[in-house]
């Protein structure tokens, strides 16, 4: 088992090892990926991690995620896994921490979505409901009124408990099916279907991920989309290269890291 550790240097070293392992596994099975979010910003802005960032983000095409997950699961003596016990988030982490600091990569899946506004909104509604129903008890504990608002928390908890009527695994399978097969349109635009809810409203052009390149980060060349500016500007604005105010330079709350640590402990206890 590992430990909940807020030593940011130790966390960065663990994330770096996870990212290198992920890159090597992608190379072995011929899968493209891109650093994403704060990890991509850190790579461009600092050639390293953002100093206060304590997790890593990667995006992959849906078909590539399926291929990579199957490869990792079937690879003999592989010490890594995709953790799916916490709902929709594809967390790439170790099978056993063995005293290491808790670290993970959020692997975010891109799926095509229809150009039709009505069809897209209907699909989003179904995905949001299924996502809430699939949450783990640890994730429910991390959702606060301060962060989400009272009404949203009430609806979230109602859907969470409804999830037990249908079975969490059935709901996860339903979410994956809807994401990968419903209202795909002409396959010109995409959305991040297992990301935060607001990400469903951010439509990404397929061409933004038509070309990849290598970029040095923490002394290693990782893969990024060549259209990283368009991707980052959509989420963070045109001034994404400018660091945020000091009061916004914060890591994940301890409760989030503790929740993931608890899930990891339960996983290791079963093995």
Give 130-141 pLDDT, tens digit per residue: 988 887 666 666
**pLDDT of 2 strictly over 70:** no
**pLDDT of 146 strictly over 60:** no
- Global pTM reads 0.87
**pLDDT of 248 strictly over 90:** no
Burial class (CB in 10 A: 0-12, 13-18, 19+), 157: middle
pLDDT of residue 141: 60
Give 204-226 pLDDT, tens digit per residue: 999 999 999 999 998 999 999 99
- Give the confidence band of 129 by pLDDT, cuts at 50, 70, 90: confident
């Amino acid at each position: 088992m590992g430990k909940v550790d807020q030593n940011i240097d130790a966390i960065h070293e663990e994330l770096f090892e996870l990212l290198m392992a992920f890159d090597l596994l992608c190379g072995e099975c011929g899968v493209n990926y891109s650093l994403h979010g704060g990890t991509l910003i850190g790579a461009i802005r600092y050639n390293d991690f953002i100093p206060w960032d304590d997790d890593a983000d990667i995006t992959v095409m849906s078909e590539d995620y399926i291929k990579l997950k199957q490869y990792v699961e079937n690879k003999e003596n592989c010490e890594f896994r995709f953790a799916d016990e916490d709902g929709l988030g594809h967390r790439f982490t170790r099978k056993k921490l063995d005293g290491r600091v808790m670290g993970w990569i959020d692997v975010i899946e891109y799926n095509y979505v229809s150009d039709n506004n009505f069809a897209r909104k209907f699909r989003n509604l179904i995905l949001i409901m299924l996502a809430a129903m699939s949450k783990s008890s640890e994730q429910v504990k991390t959702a606060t009124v301060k962060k989400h608002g009272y009404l949203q928390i009430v609806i979230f908890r109602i859907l969470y408990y409804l999830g037990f009527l249908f079975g969490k695994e059935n709901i996860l399978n339903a979410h994956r099916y809807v994401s990968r097969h419903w209202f795909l349109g002409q396959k010109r635009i995409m959305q991040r279907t297992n990301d935060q809810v607001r990400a469903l409203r951010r439509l990404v052009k397929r061409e933004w991920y038509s070309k990849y390149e290598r970029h040095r980060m923490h002394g290693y060349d990782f893969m990024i989309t060549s259209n990283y500016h368009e991707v980052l500007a959509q989420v963070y604005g045109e001034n994404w290269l400018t660091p945020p105010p000091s009061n916004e330079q914060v890591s994940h709350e301890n409760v989030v890291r503790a929740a993931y640590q608890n899930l990891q402990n339960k996983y290791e206890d079963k093995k």
